[in-house]
Amino acid sequence: MDFYDKICSLPEEELETFVRKRIQKLENKSKVRDPHDTVGFDVGYNRENHQLSEEEINPEVSMRQFYYGYIRKDMKVVYGFRYNRQGIPGNEGMYYYMDDENLILDFCRFIRGKEVQDEYELFHQILVFLHQYFGFMNQKNRESIIRMIYKDKENYFDPVYNHSIKMFKHTGSALCTEFAAVAQNILSFFNIKCYFAIGREKSQVSEMGHAFNFVQFKERDTGENTCALLDFSLPVKVYDESYRIIDRHPYVGYIPTINPTFIKSFIFQGEPLYFPEYFYYFLGNKRFCMEGQEEREYSIKNILTSDMFEAKTYRR
């Protein structure tokens, strides 16, 4: 946790300079490694507004769904797609830029003085910060919040004109894509190897398009390198002795390793990952991990449909 120690030790007047230099270094590295300008859902057509044939209207939706490292502020994060009036899938207007210049700095200020001894504590603090930055998900319609003009069903298909991650700030309208994208940049800032992934999550009660992260870090007890799937938008609940929810932690699903074999099977062959559901129970000062009745299934290479993005059931 060298970066955490550095942030805590810097005087306030030097913190901003350090953060901005670090971000610029990550931005430059990303440009060299990956020149593509989009992350997330990419339907791959209508880029020149060409007319599609009947056979092209309902093809499989292609995605650039697995991204490594820092997401630059000039890269589009595409958060979904919809069918237009003619039934043609597209993502026009459904993107934003990671252009909040103070976001990482705000997190560094937020985490100063916190007890962060390892990556697990960092993951938890990231989740707490995300809930403060975005606000807890409310019952308002997501599209009605992020659209500048929303009067009737005709306007539903009009593009969003305020393409910035800041349009979700304090609105309670952020969902999994925003949680995973911001977490991706915070993790990258702290020099943690991480991947941003879009696919779907399935349980006994719901199935939906979903975004999540993969990370590589040192295991708390053994000190050995390990890999895990992190889900910040479907977190683990923490209960007290009266079974009241007192906290939330990111969901952590352990993976033996992230290597070419894993990437091939998970991304290109569509093999899902299965993890047990669990929750925490606090009794006095001790925390117990309790396994639930459900199982989580995460996958990437699937045929996504508009119904998955119209679903109203979320388990956050």
d(CA 292, CA 26): 39
Tokens of 275: 């993890």
C-alpha separations of 277 from 47, 178, 198, 290 in Å: 41, 23, 20, 9
Decide if 300 contacts 197 (C-beta within 8 A): yes
Structure confidence at residue 43 (pLDDT): 58
Residues 137/175, Cβ–Cβ less than 8 Å: yes
Rounded Cα gap, residues 186 and 183, in angstroms:
5
Top-ranked range on mean pLDDT: pick from 16-25, 65-74, 135-144, 209-218: 16-25
Q: Are 196 and 221 in contact (CB under 8 A)?
A: no
List b or e across 220-249, with b for residues whose CB sees 16 or more CB atoms inside 10 angstroms: eeeeeebbbbbbbbbbbebbeeeeeeebbb
In the predicted model, what is the mean pLDDT of the chain?
79
Domain boundaries, the chain: 2-310
HEC assignment per residue over 47-92: CCCCCCCHHHCCCCCCEECEEECCCCCCCEEECCCEECCCCCEECC
Give the model confidence (pLDDT) of 51-91 as tens digits: 444 444 444 444 568 888 999 998 888 887 666 666 666 66
Residue with tokens 């119904």: 307
In angstroms, the CA 57 to CA 50 distance is: 12
Name the pLDDT band for 22 (thresholds 50, 70, 90).
Answer: very high
**What's the pLDDT at 186?**
97
Q: How many residues does the chain have?
A: 316
Answer for the pair 38, 78: CB distance below 8 angstroms, yes or no: yes
Tell me which range, 47-61, 122-136, 297-311, is most confidently predicted by mean pLDDT.
122-136
Percent of all residues in the chain with a pLDDT value above 70, rounded to a whole number: 74
9-23, 124-138, 149-163, 256-270: the lowest-pLDDT one: 149-163
The amino acid present at 126, given as its one-letter code, is: I
R_g of the chain computed on alpha carbons: 20
Give me the percent of the chain exceeding a pLDDT of 90. 33
Question: Which pLDDT does position 83 carry in this prediction?
Answer: 62
What pLDDT is stored for residue 167 in this prediction?
85
Amino acid at 47: R
Contact 309, 80 (CB under 8 A): yes
Q: Indicate the pTM of the whole model.
A: 0.85
Rounded Cα–Cα distance for residues 249 and 173 (Å): 20
* Residue 151: predicted pLDDT: 45
107 vs 156 pLDDT, higher one: 107
Please, is 218 exposed, middle or buried when counting C-beta atoms within 10 Å of its C-beta (0-12, 13-18, 19+)?
Answer: middle
pLDDT in tens, 237-264: 999 888 899 899 999 999 887 877 888 7
Q: How many CA atoms lie within 13 A of 227 on its CB side?
A: 12
What mean pLDDT comes out for the span 118-145?
83
Which has more confidence, 301 or 242?
242
- Residue 119, pLDDT > 80, answer yes
- For 269, the token pair is 């062959």
Cβ atoms of 116 and 1 closer than 8 Å: yes
